Structure 1
Amino acid sequence: MMMKAQDIMTEDVVKIKGSAPIVEAVQLMREKQIRCLIVDRRREGDAYGIITETDVVNKVTAYGKDPKKVRVYEVMTKPCIVINPDLGVEYVARLFAQTHIHHAPVIRGELLGLVSTSDILHKGDFVENPKENFLEKEIEEAIAQARQVCAEKGATSKECAVAWDIVEELQAEAAHQKAEKPPKTAFEEYLEENPEAAEARMYEL
């Protein structure tokens, strides 16, 4: 099983009010030895915010501002990017890479925890169980399943076409992960044996 955000997140999240002065945020970060704080919602339906040590350094320290006079809401990011607890760790890492963030709250209705690049590195299982291997196994199983469905229902059946769609989507993901195009998809190989199967994939969903 792939590890999920909820498996690696830190549950003990330190929160602060948006109206609090930056000096309070800095004291909390120093005292708890953490790099970010979640900015609490003002009311239900409001978005959570986040304030990181980088925000403080770049927006307060760098301009010589008095941290007693600047408020958290002036430098925080709100709404911030949030993570679903069921999201696979690899996708959390990809989201971080694409958005250039290092921390995100884990939310499902309410705040459940916080996940960071450190959590991914220190608690993730990507060393022991690389997603690449997991995907390869999944692709092999999907190909076997597709060939079985097509043998039973026929190469031109809608079921056969749908089964190959699943395989191609998995192969596309594996290729995207390696940033390369597969030399030949499993369906193209199947087509060499069963050319008539191509027509079935022109179906309307």
Structure 2
Amino acid sequence: MSQSLTMLTAAAIMNPKVITVKGLATVASATQSMRAHHTQTLIVDRRHPHDAYGIVTATDISSKVLAYGRDPRTIRVYEIMTKPCISVNPDLAVEYVARLFGQWQIHSAPVIKDALLGIITVTDLITKSDFLENPKAIALTAEMQKAIHRAKLICQTQGHDSSACAQAWAAVEELEAEVAYQQATKVPKTALEEYLEENPKAMDHLLIDNWCSG
């Protein structure tokens, strides 16, 4: 994707202060930790470097302990936690974090890359991301139009058989696919196909298997 389009990532909006809990801790102690740190999510520590992280939330405590009148002093965190939990790469764009949350119906996740770096929540996505000021669908569409103009100019000046021309249209195709994915639509005719209709002599150089819209 074009590097001129700035993407806000999970690392930029995550909370680096992660409150952890042992799997053997009681639900009572986990609840006290949530209250003390004003959080609804605890990350369950790994037992060893090759183990997976777990997660326990206020919803887990409410639905699995409180709802059934169970004694939180006798229930262990490992009995109600989710493990392994969904984790987020710090370099992931916030739009994809939001999709991940929606796909798995979760509200928070640890941010992990080799080590536990932070935690990100739906609240972070809503309050810290720039989706109000900078909707990505609009930004991507504008970037795609610039890429189309750039590709046409390069092909006209350097020739349709140049590698620069092919690379320019490859960049357009990548952006075009991302715009279609963002908008959940199918592209009826690609920008390259429209260009080839206007410039049929370029077809032998640019129309290859990769340039299909089917």
* Superposition TM-score, scaled by structure 1 size: 0.89
Instruction: Summarize the Cα distance change of 1:53–1:196 in structure 2 as closer, same or farther, 3 Å threshold.
Output: farther
- For 1:142, the equivalent position in structure 2 comes to 147
8 Å CA contact 1:2–1:88 kept in 2: the answer is: yes
What's the secondary structure of 2:200's corresponding residue? coil
Establish whether residue 194 from structure 1 lines up as the match of residue 199 from structure 2: yes
- Range that drifts further, 122-131 or 137-146: 137-146
* Superposition TM-score, scaled by structure 2 size: 0.86
Which whole-Å CA distance do the structure 2 matches of 1:164 and 1:100 have between them? 37
- For 2:116, the equivalent position in structure 1 comes to 111
Gapped runs of 5+ residues in structure 2? 1-5
How much has 1:65 moved relative to structure 2? 2.0
Gapped runs of 5+ residues in structure 1? none
Establish whether residue 70 from structure 1 lines up as the match of residue 75 from structure 2: yes
How much has 1:24 moved relative to structure 2? 1.0
What's the secondary structure of 1:114's corresponding residue? strand
Q: What whole-Å deviation, never above 9, does each CA across 1:159-198 have from its counterpart, x for those lacking one?
A: 5344323312312221222222345321121011123444
- For 1:51, the equivalent position in structure 2 comes to 56
What's the secondary structure of 1:184's corresponding residue? coil
Corresponding residue pairs, total: 204
How much has 1:64 moved relative to structure 2? 2.5
Establish whether residue 184 from structure 1 lines up as the match of residue 184 from structure 2: no
Establish whether residue 8 from structure 1 lines up as the match of residue 18 from structure 2: no
Percent identity (aligned): 53
Q: What whole-Å deviation, never above 9, does each CA across 1:59-116 have from its counterpart, x for those lacking one?
A: 2222332211211111111111111111111111111111111101111111111000
Runs of 4+ that moved beyond 6 A = none
Which whole-Å CA distance do the structure 2 matches of 1:198 and 1:24 have between them? 69
Counterpart of 1:17 (choices 16, 22, 29) is: 22
Counterpart of 1:125 (choices 121, 126, 130) is: 130
Q: What whole-Å deviation, never above 9, does each CA across 1:111-143 have from its counterpart, x for those lacking one?
A: 111000000111111111111222123212321
- For 1:96, the equivalent position in structure 2 comes to 101
Instruction: Summarize the Cα distance change of 1:167–1:147 in structure 2 as closer, same or farther, 3 Å threshold.
Output: same
Which whole-Å CA distance do the structure 2 matches of 1:16 and 1:107 have between them? 17
- For 2:3, the equivalent position in structure 1 comes to none
8 Å CA contact 1:106–1:112 kept in 2: the answer is: yes
Which whole-Å CA distance do the structure 2 matches of 1:119 and 1:184 have between them? 38
Which whole-Å CA distance do the structure 2 matches of 1:161 and 1:25 have between them? 57
Instruction: Summarize the Cα distance change of 1:10–1:111 in structure 2 as closer, same or farther, 3 Å threshold.
Output: same
How much has 1:54 moved relative to structure 2? 1.2
- For 1:79, the equivalent position in structure 2 comes to 84
Which whole-Å CA distance do the structure 2 matches of 1:40 and 1:12 have between them? 14
- For 1:160, the equivalent position in structure 2 comes to 165
| Paired amino acid for 1:180 | T
Which whole-Å CA distance do the structure 1 matches of 2:26 and 2:200 have between them? 69
What's the secondary structure of 1:43's corresponding residue? coil
